[in-house]
Amino acid sequence: MKTAVYPGSFDPVTYGHIDIIKRASQMFDTVIVTVMVNSAKTSLFSLDERVNMLKEATKDLPNVVIDSYNGLLINYCKEKNIHIAIRGLRAITDFEYELQIAQTNKELSHNNVDTVFLTTNLIYSYLSSSTVKEIASYNGDVYPCVPDFVAHALYEKYGYKNHNQIKGDNL
Ligand code: ADP
């Protein structure tokens, strides 16, 4: 049984993340998507909200499990006996950062955790949670970027009530 973990902030989950999750779920027996508590980042959504949005977004993928963790990825992997971490790559700017993290995890885990990179689906290459939050904060259209229920949650966070109208106006 091959299990992989896909760690991230998922604040909130986007179609870019969902695409990576779907593709990973076809490669591994089980994919655990783990919302990591990142003390360096202030999140818009609480840990529970992020976990629940991921559960809803992946409810049709039977071999995908959603979890959360406050600590180092390598410790999580050790606890769960996982040896593969999945990360997504959008551009060369992601690569430098991701390579450093991957090498650190490999070193710290004494070669027990390897990182598998999946390149973005080109149609989602521009997507990031930060961009989506910025668009929503100005009442822009985020429906092409995230599932409808995530869009609704974003507009609610930023105090906009007319999200359905936004959707209609932009179609
Ligand atoms: P983190 O805070 O750990 O960087 P994110 O939630 O922003 O987490 O992203 C988790 C992972 O998903 C990262 O490896 C990131 O590069 C990848 N990712 C984010 N958006 C996309 C996208 N549009 N296409 C492919 N991979 C993506």
Q: What angle do CA 148, 146, 63 make, to 5 degrees?
A: 95
Q: Is the beta carbon of 119 within 6 A of some atom in ligand 1? A: no
CA distance to 61, 85, 113, per residue, from 107 (Å) = 32, 14, 8
The predicted-structure confidence for 14-38, as pLDDT tens digits, reads as follows 999 999 999 999 999 999 999 999 7
Provide the whole-model pTM: 0.93
At 164, is the pLDDT very low, low, confident or very high (cuts 50, 70, 90)? low
Residue 78 and residue 73: Cα distance in Å, rounded? Answer: 9
The predicted-structure confidence for 67-90, as pLDDT tens digits, reads as follows 999 999 999 999 999 999 999 999
Which residue's CA is the closest to the ligand 1 atom numbered 3? 8
pLDDT at 99: 95
Q: Is the beta carbon of 16 within 6 A of some atom in ligand 1? A: yes
Domain ranges (residues) in the chain: 3-122, 128-171
pLDDT at 162: 61
Q: Say how many Å lie between the CA of residue 14 and the centre of ligand 1.
A: 9
Catalytic residue among 17, 50, 87, 133: 17
State the CATH architecture for 3-122: 3-Layer(aba) Sandwich (3.40)
Of 116, 61, 63, nearest to 85 by C-alpha is 116
